[in-house]
Structure 1
Amino acid sequence: MLDSSSEGSNATESDSSQETDYWPQDDLVLDGFIALACKYSPNSAPYDDDISDEAASSVDQAASPVDQAAFSVDQANLKQQSLEALTSHLPLLAQQLIKLSLSLDSAQFSENPGPTLKLILSIQSELDRTLDQIQSALHALYPIPPQSRCTRTNDQHHKGLKSFRLKGLYYRIEGPLLENVGSIFMHSHGFLHAPKLTTEDLQLQTAEASIRDQMTGFMLASSEEIKLAIEWLEGSEFNLVQKQWPMELFGINIQLEILMDLINRTTQLEEDEEHLSESATQLGKSLLPIIKLSRLFINKLMMRGMNKKYLPLFTEMRSDQMESLAGLARDVNGMVTQLMNFMRVADQSLASNISKFLTHTAKQLERDLLSGLSLFIIYFIPLIPDRHGFSMQDHLRSWFVTWCTQFSFAIQRLKDAAELYVNTSPALPESP
Structure 2
Amino acid sequence: MENLNNNTSDGSGPTLEYLGELVLQGFRNLKRKCESPCTLTQDATRILPPNGVNSREFLCNRLNSTLLPLLKDQLTAMLNLLGPASMKEEPKSKFRRVLEIQPELDYNITQIHSAFLALCPESEPDSDDQTNDQHLKHLKAYRLLEFKKKFESALQRIRNVLQTAFNYVELWRYPGLRGELYKDYEGQTKDVVKCIELTIQHSKRSEMDAIEDCATRAVGAIGRQLGHLIGLINPAAPRRYPFLSRPLSHQPIINLATKATPLIKLTQLFFKKLSKHGIMNCRTLPSFTPMNSYQLERLCQSAENVSPCLEELLISLGELDTTLEDRRLDTLLPIITKSAEDTASTLSASLLSVVLYLIPLIDSLPEQNYYQSWFATWNTQINIAVRNVVQVARDLRDLQYDSEDDSD
TM-score range relative to shorter protein: 0.7 to 0.9
Query: What is the Cα deviation at residue 162 of structure 1?
Result: 1.7
- From 69, 75, 96, the counterpart of 1:91: 69
Using the TM superposition, give the Cα deviation of residue 329 of structure 1 relative to its aligned residue in structure 2, in angstroms. Answer: 0.6
The residue that corresponds to 1:406 in the other structure is 381
Corresponding residue SS for 1:402: helix
Q: CA deviation at 1:412?
A: 4.1
Deviations 1:173-220 (Å, cap 9, x if unpaired)? 2x2111111222222122111035xxxxxxx34422332233234324
How many aligned residue pairs are there? 383
Letter in 2 for 1:215: Y
What are the within-5 Å matches in structure 2 for residues 301-340 of structure 1?
A: 301-304=274-277, 306=280, 310-340=284-314
Structure-2-length-normalised TM-score: 0.79
The question of whether the paired residues in 1 share the 8 Å contact of 2:161 and 2:189 is answered with yes
- Where structure 1 has 5 or more consecutive residues not aligned to the other structure, the ranges are 1-14, 63-70, 197-203, 267-271
Task: Letter of the 1:219 partner, please give it.
Answer: T
Structure 1 residues 297 and 97, CA gap change in structure 2 (3 angstroms): same
1:295-374 correspondence runs (5 A): 295-304=268-277, 306=280, 310-346=284-320, 347=324, 348-349=326-327, 351=329, 355-374=333-352
Q: What is the alpha-carbon distance in structure 2 between the residues aligned to residue 261 and residue 19 of structure 1?
A: 71
- What is the aligned counterpart of 2:167 among 181, 190, 193? 190
Residue 77 of structure 1 is matched in structure 2 by 54
Q: Identity over aligned residues, as a percent? A: 26
Change (3 A) 1:344 1:132: same
Q: Find the aligned partners of 1:356 and 1:189 in 2 and give their Cα distance.
A: 53
* 1:143-168, Cα deviation, whole Å (9 max, x unpaired): 53556999853222233332111211
> Can you list the C-alpha shifts for 1:76-111, whole angstroms capped at 9, x where unaligned?
333232212212221222233222222221122122
Question: Structure 1 residues 241, 17: CA separation in 2 closer, same or farther (over 3 Å shift)?
Answer: farther
Structure 1 segments, 4+ long, off by >6 Å, are 15-20, 148-151
Could you tell which deviates more after superposition, 282-291 or 94-103? Answer: 94-103
Is the Cα contact below 8 Å between 1:152 and 1:319 reproduced in 2? yes
Partner-residue secondary structure (3-state), 2:36: helix
Task: Provide closer, same or farther for how the CA distance between residues 25 and 358 of structure 1 changes in structure 2, counting only shifts above 3 A.
Answer: closer
Deviations for 1:238-268, whole angstroms, at most 9, x for unmatched residues? 33356555555544334323322222249xx
> What is the Cα-based RMSD across aligned positions, in Å?
3.8
Match of 2:114 among 133, 136, 144: 136
The answer on 1:421 being equivalent to 2:396 is yes
Say which of 39, 43, 47 aligns to 2:40. 47
Question: Is residue 165–residue 232 contact of structure 1 (8 Å, CA) maintained in 2?
Answer: no
CA deviations on 1:293-348 (whole Å, 9 max, x unpaired) are: 11121222123485588543332212111221122011211111121233123324
The counterpart of 1:38, out of the listed 26, 32, 37, is 32
Q: How much has 1:290 moved relative to structure 2?
A: 0.9
**Unaligned stretches of 5+ in structure 2?**
1-8, 237-244
Q: 1:160 to 1:344 in 2, by over 3 A?
A: same
- Out of 18-27 and 111-120, give the one that drifted further: 18-27
Q: Which residue of 2 aligns with 1:212?
A: 182
Q: TM-score, normalised by structure 1?
A: 0.75
Q: How does 1:269-288 map to 2 (within 5 A)?
A: 273=246, 275-288=248-261
| C-alpha separation in 2, matches of 1:150 and 1:206 | 60
